A and B are shown apart, each in its own frame.
Chain A
Amino acid sequence: DAGITQSPRHKVTETGTPVTLRCHQTENHRYMYWYRQDPGHGLRLIHYSYGVKDTDKGEVSDGYSVSRSKTEDFLLTLESATSSQTSVYFCAISPGGAVETQYFGPGTRLLVL
């Protein structure tokens, strides 16, 4: 998984609670991404980062925030989890910022009850 770890790998939470997912990489790549994957929708970009404290929104960013205080860590926060945020969340990196070569982590399965 290209030196990417995600934690937790599985989480069950209740509607209305905040949830933070962590992506950790060991190779100091600048570009990191958060995606969600849902049946019928495929992979969709939530947020991405192009450096420490530099982040931008993707196509499905509502209800999510991100932070990147260190190169190696990219955090995704669901501010108040809803059932529609039940999904599998993937982190990705792109060496050198080349969008065409993104490498994905193992994913986090989130269930919001």
Chain B
Amino acid sequence: QKEVEQDPGPLSVPEGAIVSLNCTYSNSAFQYFMWYRQYSRKGPELLMYTYSSGNKEDGRFTAQVDKSSKYISLFIRDSQPSDSATYLCALHRGSEKLVFGKGTKLTVNP
């Protein structure tokens, strides 16, 4: 069983839609949950991270962690064409390395 599973998409939505991006994981020891955004031919950019369970909001972005279900989500409200990118989830168990999902490619159509 893979440590982190992420649907690669692609996901295509109209401008203004609410987008839901998700990852599932297998190891309950993961404590930190990150979301990165990667534009084409660029390096990943840290959007936000969450420690343990709960929600975290930053502008139009909300990260949600459900440790009981081993499920993490990133919601994008009022999506914009500039949100078109690949979104990567990443997890870690404390001082160890990051484990990345393979990324979901999102296109927001004007």
Residues of chain A whose beta carbon lies under 8 Å from any beta carbon of chain B: 1, 40-45, 48, 58-59, 90, 99-107
Rounded to whole Å, the gap between the CB of A2 and the closest CB of chain B is: 9
The answer to whether B100 touches A42 (Cβ under 8 A) is yes
| Chain B residues, CB < 8 A from A99 | 32, 92, 95-98
Residues of chain B within 8 A (CB-CB) of A40 are 102
A100 to B56, CA, bound (A): 15
8 A-B residue pairs with CB within 8 Å: A43-B88, A43-B98, A43-B100, A48-B97, A100-B92, A101-B49, A102-B46, A104-B43
**Secondary structure class of chain A's binding surface, majority of residues:** loop
Q: Which residues of B contact A107 (CB under 8 A)?
A: 41-43
Interface residues on B, range: 20 to 34
Cα A74 to Cα B11 in complex, Å, equals: 36
* Interface members, chain B 70-110 (any A CB < 8 Å): 88, 90, 92, 95-98, 100-103
Give which listed residue, A41, A59, A103, A105, contacts B97 with CB less than 8 A: A59
Highest count of chain A CB atoms <10 Å: which of B92, B97, B102? B97
In the complex, chain B residues whose CB is within 8 Å of the CB of A58? 97
* Nearest-neighbor residue (CB-CB) of A91 within chain B: B43
Residue B45 at the chain A interface, CB threshold 8 Å = yes
B44 and A104 form a contact (CB under 8 A): yes
Q: Mark B29-57, 1 if CB is under 8 A from A, else 0.
A: 00010101000011111100101000000
